[in-house]
Structure 1
Amino acid sequence: MGPDRIARHRVLKTGTIEFGGGVFDCTVRNLSEAGAALEVVTPLYIPDRFTLIVLSEKLKRPCHIIWRKQKRIGVAFD
């Protein structure tokens, strides 16, 4: 792993996507210091910027979407 790669940890945790217009449940599939990959029912109504909450990790971080693929989205923490 080169210095430009940040260690990602595969996880399977319940998360919450929270933004001005609402709340969506998600599953956190991997997590690093820089971002996460999330599984959602549909990525259609999720805005580009939101707060990711993972209670089991005591995590509440503002983030933005860097990619969308079917039912998965990748986010980078702000």
Structure 2
Amino acid sequence: MVETRIAPRYRVSKPAQIEYGGDKIACVIRDLSITGAALQLSDRSAIIPTAFTLIMLEDNLKLTCRVVWRAAFKIGVAFD
């Protein structure tokens, strides 16, 4: 398989939150790069908008994201 990503991704397991419209949904970052991440959701029925803020409490970071792919319990995001 040929890697087509701009930046290499690193496997991680970091707790995070998806924030939009005053709501926060818990998630886990499963892989991470400087350009994006894969997020695992605990609730498949959660409605995640196309754009949101990803909060990484451990790192004291808030990053604006947009969804680039979706699967049952995972979403891929690009950082804006």
TM-score of the superposed pair, with normalisation by structure 1: 0.88
Q: 1:61 aligns with which of 58, 63, 79?
A: 63
Letter aligned with residue 48 of structure 1: T
Question: Quick one: structure 1 residues 6 and 43, their matched pair in 2 at CA, closer, same or farther if it must change by over 3 Å?
Answer: farther
- Of 7-16 and 51-60, the range deviating more from structure 2: 51-60
**Contact 1:43–1:72 at 8 Å: present in 2 too?**
no
Letter aligned with residue 12 of structure 1: S
Q: Which runs of 5+ in 2 are unaligned?
A: none
Aligned residues: 78
- Of 25-34 and 4-13, the range deviating more from structure 2: 4-13
**Cα separation, 1, equivalents of 2:4 and 2:48:** 32
Percent identical: 44
Cα RMSD (Å): 2.0
**Cα separation, 1, equivalents of 2:5 and 2:24:** 33
**Contact 2:12–2:32 at 8 Å: present in 1 too?**
yes
The structure 1 segments of at least 4 consecutive aligned residues displaced by more than 4 Å after TM superposition are 1-4
